[in-house]
Amino acid sequence: MKLKTIYEPKGAAREYAALGLNVYTGCDHGCTYCYAPAATKTKKENFSIVKNRPEKFLKWVKHDAAELRAEGITDHIHLSFTTDPYCHFDVGAEMTRKVLRILLSHDLNVQILTKGGNRSMRDSSLIFDHPDQVRYGATLTSMNDIRDIEPYAASFDERMRVLEVFHDQGVFTWVSLEPVLFPSEALDIIRATQRYVDLYWIGKLNHDKEREAKIDWNKFGRDAISVCVETGSTFRIKEALKKRMVYL
């Protein structure tokens, strides 16, 4: 099976999903902690300029979808590892909607991760028609206004409200608690959202050695587990955090 656009991620990304598809090149949310510029060997100022995929991109997606369906692959295809499927650029381009239509029409499973908030609601009817095929996720890093860190991403309140809408429509919802910028806030996020979040992926802060060294990751990890148990929340601890915890 030779795929053209859908791929098998490596390293930490593999924990989230066995398959990935990047709808765009670059992201315009401007998050200061973003690992993607380094991962794609792109200067930050260039990475913020989102580019549409080549003209044949959708044709390639259809090819890959047909291949995966023929093989009976049920793994979720993650949208997206090195971009946000609901970045501002998508409002006009609508490539995410086109990709979703193809994947869902081939009976494939899709996993979304976004900080786009209300921008993802444009595709809500499409997703609501396939609740068993889609997992909708949001990255949550702080309950406060952190425009200096995530200048163009949707607010926490907006992401939270959209998660609740999808959950109430029977869609599996999940949260990526990574990067962890403020450990106590990460715990509060679990408490505030647990009613409508089906799964938490709990990680740590990476790619910032100075700030990372100031956090007791063993304590945070154990506190996070305690809060999840206390609230009855399903969770997974990412490998990078596990390695910083004692006797886990």
User: DSSP states of 139-202 as a string?
Assistant: E---SS--TTTSTTSPPHHHHHHHHHHHHHTT-EEEEEE-S-SSHHHHHHHHHHHGGG-SEEEE
Q: Give the mean model confidence (pLDDT) for residues 171-192.
A: 97
Res. 206: pLDDT tops 70: yes
- The pLDDT of residue 148 is 96
Q: What is the mean pLDDT of residues 163-190?
A: 97
Please determine, for residue 248, whether its predicted confidence score (pLDDT) is greater than 80.
no
User: Mean pLDDT over all residues of the chain?
Assistant: 96
Give the integer Cα–Cα distance in Å for 201 and 140.
Answer: 11
| CB distance 78 to 113 below 8 Å | yes
Q: How confident is the model at residue 189 (pLDDT cuts 50, 70, 90)?
A: very high
What pLDDT is attached to residue 246? 85
**Is the pLDDT reported for residue 179 higher than 70?**
yes
d(CA 78, CA 21): 6
Q: What share of the chain in percent tops pLDDT 90?
A: 93
Mean pLDDT of 60-82: 97
Tell me the mean pLDDT in the region 92-119: 98
Which residue has better confidence, 95 or 209?
95
Residue 194 binned pLDDT confidence (cut-offs 50, 70, 90) = very high
